[in-house]
């Protein structure tokens, strides 16, 4: 009886009616649209790209896009925290709506704290504004005890929207690996994440806007007002109070520059700061969230069709690298065909999901035996960014070594370079969850400049930021930039290594 009652309480309401807010107005008349009209016309078929490596610059870009918007803001995110960054950005969205901007916010329901003590009351308040609509992807009906929902609807709730994107006035967009939370922007005492986004303009923005629309109208996107039933909304004044309290917290001092009004014209939104290249958007069918998407439409196969066969070099950066036996076999064939393959992933000490390490560690010997070069990111101390070091690094500010060294403790970027000419930036991890269960989003950028910067970092070995892993007979060695060798995995104790070996024996790969 208890099981039946739980199933009844967890049942989704009937399919939503059409979304309350429709497509945004054309961007031509907006200030952003006018600013980028000429460079877009001068680069037909191309997209402007500006990588966002520094976490504070990435926050500043989001704030400035929201403040610059005059017609529309479309946002979709996997994680949205109720911390300083999350609260301030929600307050910025409310301010945008109050000046007449249409705001559509699509959040994966697994990535927000539910219940009256979580974000639910704030989201209800935003959704009540006539120019804001909030929708939840694959939502949990039980708000206070979300995990119970997995017990009765695991197949659906195990499929999450991992996409991260923001589109302003149909003109500029940000997409990549960053969620919304202090750990992604550098203001927390806990784990920080070294990540990578791209600020884009031009043709790829229209593709991204169309992709957002199909997610917005998909069968997995439910109106927040129909899910958050019984959650009393906050008064609008309380949102302002909550934002003021967030600004007053000591950690928010790190955000002072990002929150400040920029000089005019805003250098971050200057078309001259973009590289105009060919870009291809790749995105999972939102039907993947309901298990109805065709396998050929999954993002990994889209990437294979777009990229083709690497001829010289493939460098992968993935925080959660779970290659599986099939993946190891494919990488081995590629390496033995003469293609240089290198991988950067989190070491055990830097991985914030230690169980995922058990899906990677058993494959290291096979990968090394095939000639694959392996690098494992160290857990980094918190250091202030060094602009001089960034300028001197290969590829200028785009060098990944810089974001590993300056942004905190753990790698979170998802990127790869192919033959020194193409670079991928997105949400896709090289693991079974990204391939099979989650929806993902990214762009393939045809830029020797950007791709070459990442290839140069692989060639240099990420000195000071990662260990180089090598075989020593039947054992492994973790080698520092100065040649120091560790014959046991850095940061681990005997019980950690035993736990990793035991977990590796379980059939968990598909869940990692």
> Which residues are known catalytic residues?
162, 164, 169, 412, 414, 419
Bridging pattern class, strands 47-52 and 197-202: antiparallel
Nearest by Cα to 110 from 166, 156, 73 = 156
C-beta of residue 191 within 8 angstroms of C-beta of residue 409: yes
What HEC string does 332-363 produce?
HHHHHCCCEEEEEEECHHHCCCHHHHCCCHHH
**Partners of 283 in the β-ladder:** 441
C-beta of residue 276 within 8 angstroms of C-beta of residue 282: no
Kindly state the DSSP code that residue 270 receives in the 8-state scheme: -
Rounded to a whole number of angstroms, the distance between the first and last alpha carbons of the chain is 33
CA distance 178 to 196: 7
**Letter string b/e over residues 155-171, b meaning 16 or more CB atoms within 10 A of that residue's CB:** ebbbbbbbbbbbbbbbb
Supply 294's token pair: 């065709």
Distances (CA, A) of 240 to 75, 133, 320: 21, 19, 37
CB neighbours (10 Å) of residue 293?
Answer: 16
Kindly state the DSSP code that residue 437 receives in the 8-state scheme: I
Cis omega (within 30 of 0) on the bond before 265?
yes
Within 8 A by CB and 6+ apart from 12, the residues are 139, 141, 222
Residue 364: phi and psi, rounded to 5, are: -65, -45
Nearest by Cα to 368 from 335, 402, 404 = 335
C-beta of residue 279 within 8 angstroms of C-beta of residue 200: yes
């Amino acid at each position: 009886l208890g099981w039946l009652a739980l199933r009844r309480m967890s049942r989704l309401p009937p399919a939503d009616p059409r979304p309350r807010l429709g497509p945004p107005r054309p961007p031509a008349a907006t200030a952003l649209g006018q600013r980028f009209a000429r460079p877009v016309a001068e680069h037909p078929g191309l997209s402007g790209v500006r990588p966002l490596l520094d976490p504070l610059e990435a926050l500043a870009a989001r704030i400035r896009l929201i403040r610059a918007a005059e017609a529309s803001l479309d946002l979709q995110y996997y994680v949205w925290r109720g911390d300083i960054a999350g609260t301030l950005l929600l307050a910025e969205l409310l301010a945008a709506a109050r000046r007449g901007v249409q705001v559509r916010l699509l959040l994966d329901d697994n990535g927000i704290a539910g219940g009256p003590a979580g974000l639910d009351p704030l989201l209800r308040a935003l959704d009540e504004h006539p120019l804001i609509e909030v929708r939840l992807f694959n939502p949990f009906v039980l708000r206070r005890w979300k995990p119970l929902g997995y017990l009765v609807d695991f197949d659906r709730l195990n499929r999450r929207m991992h996409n991260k994107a923001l589109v302003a006035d149909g003109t500029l967009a940000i997409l990549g690996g960053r969620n919304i939370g202090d750990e992604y922007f550098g203001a927390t005492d806990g784990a920080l994440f070294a990540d990578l986004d791209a600020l884009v303009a031009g043709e790829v923005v229209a593709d991204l806007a169309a992709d957002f629309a199909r997610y917005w109208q998909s069968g997995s996107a439910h109106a927040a007002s129909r899910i958050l039933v019984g959650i009393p909304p906050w008064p609008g004044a309380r949102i302002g109070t909550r934002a003021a309290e967030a600004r007053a917290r000591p950690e928010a001092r790190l955000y002072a520059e990002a929150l400040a009004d920029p000089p005019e014209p805003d250098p971050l939104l200057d078309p001259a700061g973009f590289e105009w290249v060919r870009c291809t958007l790749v995105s999972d069918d939102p039907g993947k969230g309901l298990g109805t998407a065709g396998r050929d439409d999954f993002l990994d196969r889209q990437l294979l069709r777009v990229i083709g066969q690497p001829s010289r070099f493939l460098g992968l950066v993935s925080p959660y690298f779970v290659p599986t036996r099939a993946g190891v076999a494919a990488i081995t064939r590629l390496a033995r065909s003469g293609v240089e393959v290198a991988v950067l992933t989190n070491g055990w000490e830097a991985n914030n999901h230690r169980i995922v390490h058990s899906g990677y560690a058993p494959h290291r010997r096979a990968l090394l035996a095939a000639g694959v070069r392996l690098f494992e990111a160290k857990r980094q101390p918190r250091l202030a960014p060094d602009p001089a070091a960034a300028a001197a690094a290969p590829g200028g500010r785009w060098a990944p070594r810089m974001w590993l060294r300056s942004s905190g403790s753990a790698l979170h970027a998802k990127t790869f370079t192919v033959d020194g000419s193409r670079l991928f930036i997105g949400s896709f991890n090289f693991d079974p969850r990204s391939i099979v269960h989650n929806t993902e989003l990214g762009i393939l950028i045809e830029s020797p400049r950007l791709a070459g910067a990442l290839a140069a970092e692989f060639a240099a070995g990420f000195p000071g930021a990662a260990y180089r892993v090598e075989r020593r007979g039947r054992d492994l060695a973790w080698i520092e930039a100065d040649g120091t060798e560790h014959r046991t995995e850095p940061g681990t104790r005997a019980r950690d290594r035993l736990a990793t070996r035991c977990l590796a024996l379980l059939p968990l790969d598909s869940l990692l």
